[in-house]
Amino acid sequence: MAKLYSSPSADGFYMPAEYEKHHGTILIWPVRPGSWGNDPSNAQEAFCKIITELSKNETVYLLTDKDHLEEAKRKVKNNAVILEIPSNDSWARDVAPTFVTNKQTIRGINWKFNAWGGEFDGLYSHWELDDKVASLFCENTGKDYYDFGNFVLEGGSIHTDGEGTLLVTKSCLLSKGRNPELTMSEIESTLKDALNVSKVLWLPYGIYNDETNEHVDNVCCFTSACNVVLAWTDNQNDPQYKMSLADYEYLQNQTDAKGRKIIIHKLPIPDVPVCISDEDMDYTFEEGEDTRQVGERLAASYVNFYFGNNIVLVPQFGGENKASDKRAIDILTDLCKDRKVIGIDSTAILLGGGNIHCITQQIPFC
């Protein structure tokens, strides 16, 4: 194991698509009171359901601190390899390594993490443990990795087809709390070097009220080469309408890295906005941590699903959204014919600030 400072693309490494075969998936045990509440059992139950499904077809790595090691072992049973790696929260997509491969071996990428905005608009004041997760995971599992120094990036802000095309949002990557000293062109150049892509598609927006400055993984992703799903609503009074329309019009005029037209499949958001209720308000927030309010609209989106080996795990919100839950399952079943599409009750994860894709990070096969 060694820390590497050369260029992934120059070394012949690239980021494969999420829907390609995995070696495994990383998750982090949820315990933070400001995200999962003073009783995190509902969130932990949702995590366990996801771990159980994934572990049938790939290796699951679960990270936890020493204080919660035995709890995690007891609840997860034998469905995961548990590693004692502490973190500030449980967003594996954003703090775990991004993996690249040359089809013979895999290496990790360690980005700078600053809690989605640092001192400008970050979501909590202390993120030192989160920032060490990627390097510690690589060191604990014997994987070489590239260190991109002070370049701030989260895994949820990028999505690739594995064939040279990368999806990002302007609202996130150009936010003032990440890399304000860099131009859009310089950010794009770094991404091309790190992930070995030749074309970056800059969508204007993500999901309304997404506290990550609108990560792309909540609004748009590839389901196969040329094909993307885009979060959508037909309700012109919904603030999401203009955001999704701008993304749709942008993508209509784009091709992928191979010159192929992007085929857009609309994946409607929940029919009824998912908001925080009085019953949900059982949090303890640290000083400097972003707080929640009763009635606050959460960034619910079915695009925040996750490709496992042979399966697709799709958020489900229940209640008034049973019909839209089923619609999302039907759409993704039609698009992912070679996989079993499984709905996961993920409202407890949404209350933490994200969803299934946000808590998972894939490790590809060589």
Q: What is the DSSP string of 224-290?
A: ETTEEEEEE---TTSHHHHHHHHHHHHHHT-B-TTSPBPEEEEEEPPSS--B--GGG----PPTT--
Q: How far is CA 332 from CA 197, 307, 317, 321, 336, in A?
A: 26, 11, 16, 17, 6
Query: Would strands 145-152 and 159-160 be described as parallel, antiparallel, or unpaired?
Result: unpaired
Q: Which of 172, 220, 221, 358 is catalytic?
A: 358
Residues 6 or more apart in contact with residue 141 via CB below 8 angstroms? 61, 83
CA distance 268 to 232: 4
Write the single-letter amino acid at 10.
A
CA distance 125 to 214: 20
Whether 226 is a known active-site residue: answer: no
The number of C-alpha atoms within 13 Å of 343 and in the hemisphere containing its C-beta is: 18
CA distance 91 to 94: 6
Residues 6 or more apart in contact with residue 137 via CB below 8 angstroms? 26, 61, 63, 83, 85, 96, 97, 108, 143
Residue 186: how many other CB atoms lie within 10 Å: 12
What token pair was written down for 65?
Answer: 């601190």
What token pair was written down for 326?
Answer: 């089923």
Active site residues: 358
